[in-house]
Chains A and B, each alone.
Chain A
Amino acid sequence: MTRFNSVAEADQVIGGFLRELPRLDPLIREIVQHNPLVMKLELSDPPLDAELDLTCTPLAVRMDSSASGAVGLAGSCSDFHRVLLGQLPVAVGINRKKLLVRGSTAKMMKVVSLFYVVPYIYPSYLESIGRADLLEPGERPPLHGERPLEGTMNKIISALAYLAGYGLGLLKRNLTPRLDILAALEAMGQGLSRAAGQPKSEPAAASGAEIK
């Protein structure tokens, strides 16, 4: 079980990843079905608060705001880390009192879809900041039941699985352990538009800053 020994470490790992999300704005906005909501994260042990604000474009992630969002999720840093890895499905977290949900059920159900997608990105983010040690081996339990209906979520997940090259990804992981997060994000951006049948959008301006 990963433990975060200091606030700085938790902020660097989990906070850092959250601050990456604005770069995925079109994708995340699609996942929460363009629902302008504010989600509060109240993590503990060590204490780390964050706010995912979808009311503005691109979405903003604030680490210090005291506003109360429409939806809240509370839990320990290590548990939330395992949620991002996909080792702890949100439903299992709620039923085992590891995660405490607050606020509107309808909005929560929109945000929860994010946690089906994040496990595809978070591992490569950890590797990109040199914290592959935080990766937890082991079988990944199902994050959600099979969906009775074809919906936006399915298109996104299948697109991501295809892009992350589920089969290809395994091959690549064996060949080149480091998958550059930026390259993955951009590839995903294009891949998604192709999968969704929209015209290929301009690639995000290649920002020079390399994530160290």
Chain B
Amino acid sequence: MIAAGVDIGSTASKAVILDGDRVLASRIGPSSTNPGRTAREIFQQALAQAGISEARVNFIVGTGYGRAQVAFAHTNVSELSCHGRGAHFYLPAARTVLDIGGQDTKAICIDQEGNLLDFVMNDKCAAGTGRFLEMMARTLGMGFDEFAAMHFQEGEPCVIGNMCSVFAESEVINLVNEGAALPRIIKGLHQSLAGRVAALAKRVGIEPEVVITGGVAKNAGVIDAVEKKLGQKLANFPPGVDPQIIGALGAALIARDQAQRSGQT
């Protein structure tokens, strides 16, 4: 029984194909201004990677910002339920899921079956989101990996306010002009982001295990900064699992459940 999940995010789009409990394929690609077309492309790439034809897929669920435009999906589900369900698949002990997405940050609270209990979102402001780090990396003229690696070089972190990314950006420019070392600035940025994310997590109520999903979770510097802020270790996904596909995986799992419930074999 084959199910698929397509997650159209603001910056990246993902697709996952599932056979029972086995992930046949997962693809990540850049989002475009035409979510409908992006959804079809990413889904075709995943089908090719899994080596199966579209006809064999029993149920498809769309999620993410552009979920309404996933024309070929049977239904669409909000990314909150999908991230909760996807994180629970790999980490049944997870109770708090922090999705640091491209445009917003979500703190999700789930029960032992991965059902969505509560959520808090920070969607009115770019501070504390993937977009914030993206802007800063561009400001400092660095690639994503180089940016993350510098977090672990020595140097006291600079204090950067976390109220607004526009304020923060001008502070970074000023620090660079004053000759502050890049690792110190990057550490300060990661702490500023972690501060916003920690505040959101505390608002929804932190219950162990805590896990971060979304593209930013691949930045070890952010993981380290959030762990310091929350004062506890974060759960990690098994090796080889990309935290950015958790939303699409959750959508695929929900597709599988709905297929089984509606008797499609």
The answer to whether any beta carbons of A and B sit under 8 Å apart in the complex is no
- Please list the residues of chain B having a beta carbon within 8 angstroms of any beta carbon in chain A: none
- Please list the residues of chain A having a beta carbon within 8 angstroms of any beta carbon in chain B: none
